[in-house]
Amino acid sequence: MPFPRCLVCGSSVNDAGVDHVHRFPRNEQKSKIWQDAMGIKYIPGVSLKNYSICSRHFTVCSYLNRVTGKLCANAVPTLLPASSVGLQSPSEQTLETPSTPPRSIFRGIKGLSAADTTPRKQHLMNLVKSKEAHIRKLKKLCRKKTSDIKSLTNIGDSTVVRNVFRGMSSVTTDFLISQLRCAKKSPRGRRWITQDKVLALALFKKSPKCYRLLRKMVALPSKNTQLAMLL
Ligand SMILES: [Zn+2]
């Protein structure tokens, strides 16, 4: 199990100059006094009993026994090490300089502004931010691949399909592409370009009976579609 870290400076008992790590008092009033002394913004109803503070913030007088780490009943942390001043600045500093705007994921979460973070929190926030950036990159890649796939399915404009039909007349190419495009569509879902309609009209004018027979074999515009073009 990892050693508890100081909420103010992020140190643990493993670090130099830290002899003990003390829990914040369960008593709310006492906890508030500690928080005020350390420049931590007090939020009513939010207990810091699960958070700790290291011995570097207590004067020697605060201890009943320095060896065992027993604090006086009215001990209050008063020392702010230079390294933690920037991290846990007094509240007035927070008011003067706006904290860095949190990323969308951290928006609305209290205690994550630059003034309230500990090194561990900062590290985790950076980790989340980097993962978020990675997800954004992947989403962008997904969008690009999706549009690539869509453009592939649009066979009418596909150069690959055009190359397959290379050497055929433009009428044949247009007809074959229209068949490919409309093969999986329901009759009402088919869309025709002008060339398709012109070819269909030519066939229909030649022989309406033959056109009806052809419509049973291949996808061709209906009579109404042709009439709509003429109007
Ligand atoms: Zn500390």
What confidence tens digit (pLDDT) does each residue in 18-73 have? 888 999 998 888 888 998 888 888 888 788 888 899 998 898 888 988 888 899 88
Mean pLDDT of 187-191: 88
Distance 68 CA to ligand 1 centre (A): 18
Distance 126 CA to ligand 1 centre (A): 21
Distance 153 CA to ligand 1 centre (A): 62
In angstroms, rounded to a whole number, what is the distance separating the alpha carbons of residues 168 and 165? 6
Structure confidence at residue 92 (pLDDT): 39
Distance 129 CA to ligand 1 centre (A): 26
In angstroms, rounded to a whole number, what is the distance separating the alpha carbons of residues 216 and 28? 85
H-type helices in 183-222, by residue range? 194-206, 208-217
| Most distant pair of Cα atoms in the chain: their distance | 112
Distance 16 CA to ligand 1 centre (A): 11
Which DSSP symbol is given to 85?
Answer: H
Contacts 24+ apart (CB under 8 A), 71-75: 71/22
Distance 97 CA to ligand 1 centre (A): 23
Structure confidence at residue 211 (pLDDT): 94
Structure confidence at residue 137 (pLDDT): 96
List the beta strands (DSSP E) in the chain. Answer: 21-23, 52-54, 63-65, 70-71
Distance 60 CA to ligand 1 centre (A): 15
Q: Is the ipTM here above 0.90? A: yes
Q: Decide if pLDDT at 105 tops 80.
A: no
Structure confidence at residue 89 (pLDDT): 40
Structure tokens at 195: 């060339």
Asked which of 25-34, 147-156, 215-224 is least confident by mean pLDDT, the reply is: 147-156
